[in-house]
Chains A and B, each alone.
Chain A
Amino acid sequence: MGLKVLAAMSGGVDSATAAARAVDAGHEVTGVHLALSSNPQSYRTGARGCCTLEDARDARRAADVIGIPFYVWDLAERFKQDVVDDFVAEYAAGRTPNPCLRCNEKIKFEAVLDRALALGFDAVCTGHYARIDEADGTLRRAVDDGKDQSYVLAVLTRDQIAHAIFPLGDTPKAKVRAEAAQRGLLVADKPDSHDVCFIADGDTQGFLARQLGGAVPGKIVDSDGAVLGSHEGAFGFTVGQRKGLRLDRPAPDGNPRYVLSIEPVSNTVTVGPAAALEVSEITAIRPVWTGCPAPSSPVECSVQLRAHGEVHTCTAELTDDELLIRLHAPARAVAAGQAAVLYEGDTVLGSATISAAS
């Protein structure tokens, strides 16, 4: 029995193929392109000149080829509030946010899903590379390791996952492209998107400086507090960053130095040797459990600490609402604000936001 499915169509090859597969699976599919940025440039009152006009067109043409109804939903306000403003605020607070994760959590599987359910749809379908286990409804990694997006979906609750369809999780990207071409989808050759979608020129530092009202000069110090250089705003740095520090003098031992921490209140960036980046204890907050019940005793599992990052074995322990992750071997460059996603094999157990590491 087919479901009424709303397919989020970005204009890219993945979401187009996913929508087509949902149709093949017998669902009644409606395509929706999410207009996420507003750019009032025309004469019309409140007009949205979408920055992604071409993407909207590509999505519409894909829907035509698949033969499904198509609409554009204006989510620019929600996107700004829940993703862009959050992104800026997180950097300003010295953390390193993942906007794709936030977009999945707040836009695709909250704003869009809620509206879809209210309108009578049963599920939202996207082109994410992840699998949902048919037997137990858990979220699993995609078969294509290189494309796996379970990390940016792990923030979803069980209820959100129960209303999600990811038709591409069992297929390598190359095959998806070939299939799109076979289906006559003109987006088959469209390049993958990589950068933060709302920073068109890829210049995150410049974007943050504009959003936060310009440069705020501050100091770069070592762990002893010795001043090694200056910067134009602590918000521009990420833990583990090596390039672009422009320090006045080399380290005594001649080894490269990395950002160890960012202190937004005093606007101070602390740097040190690679060894000082190593952490073995991570605290994470706001845990979500989808692959198991909230554990009452320590769990042996593995953890991924950033998108496309390495997987570390660990012991995870939940106390109150805080997750303590003890890594079996130290990891480097763990940034607050990123998600710590716990896996058992390729199944997501749960996810939480990193608040501290030592």
Chain B
Amino acid sequence: MSTCPVIYLDHAATTPMLPESIAAMTEELAQFGNPSSLHNAGRRARRVVEESREQIAEVFGARASEVIFTSGGTEADNLAVKGMFWARRAGDPRRTRVLTTAVEHHAVLDSVHWLADAEGATPQWLPVDDCGLVHADSLRAALAAGPDGADSAALVSIMWANNEVGAVHPVAALAAVAHELGVPFHTDAVQAAAQLPVDFAASGVDAMTVTAHKLGGPVGVGALILGRAVAPVPVLHGGGQERDVRSGTLDAPAIRAFAVAAVTSARRRAAEAVRVAALRDDLIRQVLRAVPDAVLNGPPPGPGRLPGNAHFSFPGCEGDALLLLLDARGIACSTGSACTAGVAEPSHVLLAMGADEARARGSLRFSLGHTTTQADVDALGGCIGEAVTRARRAAGSAAR
């Protein structure tokens, strides 16, 4: 069997589970009981779920009743975008516009495309600047435009922080603009929740997606944090376990592990952000020293960028060739999204930021996290130069 990477620089894809979270989950897996059952075993499981709900609510500045557990970020995004669209349009048939950005995660992007194809929605793609940031003015202008102005807007969905280039959007300001015009606001905070203080109430958003596996919890559990006044039409129908908005037996072990990871990572967040940002800054220095013409994509390091994110374009390289070469040296990183068959696609985020296809294809994301050490950064710094040289030769061989 091929060895697992020893240098893991893909925390934005998923980050190793925290030992505390693994311990909680394994302990809970040995228990039993359906949280919806009325007997003793059910009550015990229900208590685990509700205590976890309270802990998660506290971490994210929400009330316990605002936490709707889902199977993860994708389900939460689908529920928010589709469910809020359906509910808003049912209230007024003019509300068919969905305002979002072209740099969203595919869980939002593809939901919006589906609404356009199947439900007659009109997507409106807010522009981003060359750092990948959307501005409140653009949102205000876009909301006011259109046939009935803001009255034709069903919802706004803008991510808190971008998963590829780490851009942190001014979510509170954006939500305020939407609310001024009476339009509900959803944010995908999957990346932000792992690295930034994310406060649901303070941000003013109506719905917010979070997921466990980006902050040290297990894959397969997440939440839509949903203001109590917001009643999206359900995507999944059944037992109505979660406020009648989401159905499905609650996964007590995963939910408990999610809560432990959220609490633990929140406690360490401030110190970790400083530590990880320093490593990330050194990584940027080392990469640019080895490859002087590499381009750092996204906002400059600082409050406008996720502390664990570094994203580069390497001119004259194919990202997937670089990935293969680094993988062979035990370094794990990412080119962006891959289709089911595993073919690397040019990053839609970079394309939206104005990059051409060659630059978008020649990009790599390095994302740092709680297990990252200086040795990891040095290992990358030690071999990125040679990998780029080889990848350039390979790209040259293709350009006959």
Interface residues of A (CB under 8 A from B): 30, 33, 35, 42-50, 52-53, 56-57, 60, 67-69, 71-74, 78, 111, 114-115, 117-120
CA A111 – CA B399 in complex, angstroms?
Answer: 10
Contact of B343 among A35, A114, A118, A120 (CB under 8 A): A35
Q: A43-B114, A44-B339, A74-B344 given as contacts; is B391 within 8 A of A67 (CB)?
A: no
Q: Are A45 and B344 in contact (CB under 8 A)?
A: no
**Does chain A have a CB within 8 A of B274?**
no
Q: Are B390 and A50 in contact (CB under 8 A)?
A: no
Task: For residue A180, give the distance in angstroms from its CB to the closest CB of chain B.
Answer: 19
By a CB distance below 8 angstroms, the chain B residues around A115 are 321, 394, 397-398
Chain A: minimal CB distance from B324 (Å): 6
In the complex, whether B348 has a CB less than 8 A from a CB of chain A is yes
Q: Check A71/B324 contact, CB under 8 A, given A43-B110, A43-B113, A119-B390.
A: yes
Residues of A within 8 A of B391 (CB): 119
Q: Which of A30, A45, A52, A53 has the most CB of B within 10 A?
A: A45
Tell whether, in the assembled complex, residue A68 and residue B342 are in contact, meaning their CB atoms are under 8 Å apart. Answer: no
Using a CB-CB cutoff of 8 Å, which residues 330-362 of chain B contact chain A?
337, 339-346, 348, 351, 357
**Cα separation A119 to B393 with both chains bound (whole Å):** 7
Q: Give 13 CB contacts A-B under 8 Å.
A: A44-B337, A44-B339, A44-B345, A49-B339, A50-B339, A57-B341, A67-B1, A74-B320, A114-B397, A115-B394, A117-B397, A118-B390, A120-B325
B337 nearest CB neighbor, chain A only: A44
Q: A69-B328, A115-B394 known; A46 and B114 CB under 8 Å?
A: no
A198 CB to nearest B CB, Å: 16
Do B390 and A120 touch across chains, with their CB atoms under 8 A apart? yes
Q: Which residues of A contact B397 (CB under 8 A)?
A: 114-115, 117-118
In the complex, number of A-B residue pairs with CB atoms less than 8 Å apart: 92
- What residues of B have a CB within 8 angstroms of the CB of A120 in the complex? 325, 390
**What 0/1 readout, one digit per residue, does chain B (313-329) give for beta carbons within 8 Å of chain A?**
00000001101110110
B109 contacts the other chain (Cβ, under 8 Å)? yes
Interface 0/1 of B71-114, CB less than 8 Å to A: 00000000000000000000000000000000000100110011
A68 to B110, CA, bound (A): 33
A119 touches B339 (CB 8 A): no
Q: Known contacts being A43-B110, A69-B327, is A74 close to B390, with CB within 8 Å?
A: no
Nearest-CB residue, chain A, relative to B347: A45
- Residue numbers in A under 8 Å from B390 (CB-CB): 118-120
Kindly state the separation between the CA atoms of A57 and B340 in the bound complex, as whole angstroms: 9
**Contact mask for chain B residues 375-400; partner A; CB cutoff 8 A; 1 contact, 0 none:** 00000000000000011011111100
CB distance from A13 to the nearest CB of B (A): 19
- Asked if B40 is at the interface (CB within 8 A of a chain A CB), the reply is no
The 9 closest A-B pairs by CB, nearest first: A118-B394, A72-B342, A114-B397, A43-B113, A56-B341, A118-B393, A50-B341, A74-B343, A67-B1
What A residues does B398 contact at CB under 8 A?
78, 111, 114-115
Docked Cα-Cα span, A30 to B327, in Å, equals 11
Asked if B342 and A119 sit within 8 Å, CB to CB, the answer is no
- Residues A72 and B341 in contact in the complex (CB < 8 Å), given A44-B110, A119-B324: yes
Contact A73 B320, CB 8 Å, known A43-B113, A114-B398, A115-B394: yes
Measured in the bound complex, the distance between the Cα atoms of B390 and A43 in whole Å is: 33
Residue of B nearest to A78 (CB): B398
Q: How far is the CA of A117 from the CA of B390 in the complex (A)?
A: 9
CB distance from B319 to the nearest CB of A (A): 11
- Show the binding face of B for A, using Cβ within 8 Å: 1-2, 106, 109-110, 113-114, 320-321, 323-325, 327-328, 337, 339-346, 348, 351, 357, 390-391, 393-398
Our pick among B321, B339, B342, B393 for the contact of A42 (Cβ within 8 Å) is B339
Which chain B residue shows the least CB distance to A73? B320
B399 to chain A, nearest CB (A): 10
Cβ of B346: which chain A residues have Cβ within 8 Å of it? 45-46
| Chain A residues closer than 8 Å to B345, beta-carbon distance | 44-48
Quote the shortest CB–CB distance from B16 to chain A (angstroms): 21
| A69-B327, A119-B321, A119-B394 known; A48-B114 Cβ under 8 A | no
Q: CB-nearest residue of chain B relative to A70?
A: B342
Other A-B pairs, 8, CB within 8 Å; known A42-B110, A118-B395:
A43-B106, A43-B109, A44-B110, A44-B337, A45-B348, A49-B340, A115-B397, A119-B390
CB contacts (< 8 Å) of B323 on chain A: these are: 71
In the bound complex, residues from chain B placing their C-beta under 8 Å from that of A117 are 397
Tell me which residues across on chain B come within 8 A of A57, comparing CB atoms. Answer: 341
Cross-interface CB contact of B348 among A44, A50, A53, A69, cutoff 8 Å: A44
The residue on B at minimum CB distance from A48 is B343
Q: Tell whether A71 pairs with B339 under 8 Å between CB atoms, given A43-B109, A115-B398, A118-B396.
A: no
Choose among B1, B339, B393 the residue with the greatest number of A CB atoms under 10 Å from its CB: B339
Chain B residue with Cβ nearest A55? B341
Do residues A71 and B109 form an inter-chain contact, with CB atoms below 8 A? no
A307 nearest CB across to chain B (Å): 27
- Rounded to whole Å, the gap between the CB of A49 and the closest CB of chain B is 7
Given contacts A30-B324, A114-B398, A119-B324, A48 and B339 within 8 Å (CB-CB): yes
Q: How far, in angstroms, from A180 to B395 measured CA to CA in the complex?
A: 35
Q: Chain A: which residue is nearest B393 at the CB level?
A: A118
Contacts of A71 in B (CB 8 A): 320, 323-324, 342
Closest to B398 in A: A115
Please report the C-alpha to C-alpha distance between residue A57 and residue B339 in the assembled complex, in whole angstroms. Answer: 12
Q: How far is the CB of A58 from chain B (nearest CB, A)?
A: 11
Give Cα A290 to B346, complex, Å. 40
CB neighbours (8 Å) of A35 from chain B are 341, 343
